[in-house]
Amino acid sequence: MKLFFKLLILTTLIGNYSTSAFADFEDKIVSSLIEHGKFSINKNDIAAAIDDFSRALLLDSDNDIAIKELLKTSSNKDLPFDIKLSILQLEDISKYIARLNEVTNYYSDRIINIKDKLLSEGVSEDVIKKELGAILPIRTIIDEQSELNTEHQSISTKDPLSNLLIELTSVKLSLEDKASLLRTEYELLMSINDKLTIAKNNEALNRSEAKYASKTETLSEIEDAKDNKTSGLDGNEFLNKNFAKTSSTLNEFSQQLEILKSELENKDLAVKRMSSQIVDMSLQLAEDQNNKSKEETTSTPDLHFEITDLNSRLELGQKILQEKNEQINILRRDITKIKEIATLDENKYNESLTIKNKKLVEQSGILRIYKEQYWDTYKENKSNIANIKTLEAQIDFAQKMIFEKERIINNFKQNMVSFENQLFEAKSKLLNMSALYYEKSDKDKLFLNHMAGLQAQLDSLREALNNQILEFDNMYSTFASDKIITPNLLFR
């Protein structure tokens, strides 16, 4: 503790240092705390080691050495259950914070990429800021919550491990809010990108429809001038109606493509019929030129004009076919792009689902560990409670025995004092009567013999009492010493 306060005082004295110098000094403080913690472990002072490692993590929460050393202390059998549980909780929070950092980094990178893409495609920063304005209330709430977390974090205790848990909990809450905010921002930017993609696809479709409508209108005028000799008019109207109903979905694109293919087949048949008509008319023209007379040659310019008209119609039909092929290619490219967008969205969903499944598996594993640790602790506590009750019964019995022995010893001591007083009085009488022993009659000698027997009896009684007192004193010293056997499970 003194070392830690000295380090704090030194940190306040280096306020004029540069940032790099302070960082180096902070690293030295962390290293000193870790070394002191290892030294405490060697001295079997686990509590001091936990405090040192916790203080090191308060200065550098990402220090792997301090985390590993602190987790090692949880395997000590003499460690209290609440401290062991706090260390395990610290490990879970650290892992969860690492995962939150990965999530925030992932969304930060995606946000940067999608912003660069939108700017490169012509979206202004004002539009992006306007769309992101929807998350301003959320950002305000998160900032207020961060201030509350900071206030709660400032309420520290004297226990470094508890302070470390408070700080990491505050960091966890802040990272959760940050991840939620980044996820919302990413979703808004993706919605802007989706709108831009849909607008581009619609614009491309509108250009294709306008181009196709102008060509079909030209073809309709030509066919109307020929008194509807071909069936292309109805097909053009049907195609125009279908193109007017186009949409941005993949299924509608596919339907339009099938319809366009059917119309192309109809146009191919019309072109073939026009080609056969041209061939037939050319043969008929040659036959007429060979067989008809000179007078009929005046109609030749009309035939040449009709052949020229058919050739122009054939050329126009080929151009229309070429343009239709181009339109089909545009539709195919649009469908491919939509499929790519759908595939990208599916990959994102699968990626998110994989992350959620991974988190679920990790949380299930942590829950299983907690259940196993709780069950082991429950069994250990149940055994300890039984041992405590047994020990309490033994202590009560020993105390009762000690009290009873002390009472018996006190009674014997009181009786011993009484017997000693009687013995002293008897000795005094014997001394007084010993001088007259030889002057007395036989009757007095008998009395003196009786007194001598009484003295012998008293001496025997005193010896017995002394032996009993010595035995009780030995028993009392045994109960007063630390030789009482206690269950070993109580002190795990």
Tens digits of per-residue pLDDT, 208-218? 556 555 545 54
pLDDT at 16 (0 to 100): 44
H and E: helices and strands count for the chain: 12, 0
What is the percent of the chain with per-residue pLDDT over 90, rounded to a whole number? 0
Domain boundaries, the chain: 1-73, 84-193, 197-365, 377-491
pLDDT at 20 (0 to 100): 56
Which has the higher per-residue pLDDT, 86 or 317? 86
Render 179-202 in DSSP notation, one character per residue: HHHHHHHHHHHHHHHHHHHHHHHH
Query: How many other β-carbons are positioned within 10 Å of the β-carbon of residue 120?
Result: 8
Q: What is the pLDDT of residues 27-38, one digit of tens each?
A: 788 888 888 888
pLDDT at 23 (0 to 100): 62
220: left (phi over 0), alpha (psi -120 to 50) or beta: alpha
CA atoms of 184 and 473, how far apart (whole Å) = 83
Contact 223, 233 (CB under 8 A): yes
Look at the block and give the residue holding tokens 């940032």.
Answer: 19
Q: What is the pLDDT of residues 298-337, one digit of tens each?
A: 444 555 556 666 666 666 667 667 777 777 777 777 777 7
CATH 1.20.1740 at 1-73, yes or no: no
What are the tokens at 167? 């700080």
Render 473-488 in DSSP notation, one character per residue: HHHHHHHHTT-----G
CA atoms of 316 and 323, how far apart (whole Å) = 10
Contact 338, 252 (CB under 8 A): no
Look at the block and give the residue holding tokens 């930060």.
Answer: 108
Q: What is the mean pLDDT of residues 456-468?
A: 74
Which has the higher per-residue pLDDT, 313 or 242? 313
pTM of the model: 0.38
> Please, which residues have CB within 8 angstroms of residue 97's CB and are 6 or more apart in sequence?
168, 171, 172, 175
- Average pLDDT of the chain is 69
Q: What angle do CA 488, 490, 491 make, to 5 degrees?
A: 75
Q: What is the pLDDT of residues 88-142, one digit of tens each?
A: 888 888 888 888 888 888 888 888 888 888 888 887 778 777 777 766 666 666 6
CA atoms of 382 and 396, how far apart (whole Å) = 21
What are the tokens at 227? 């008194």
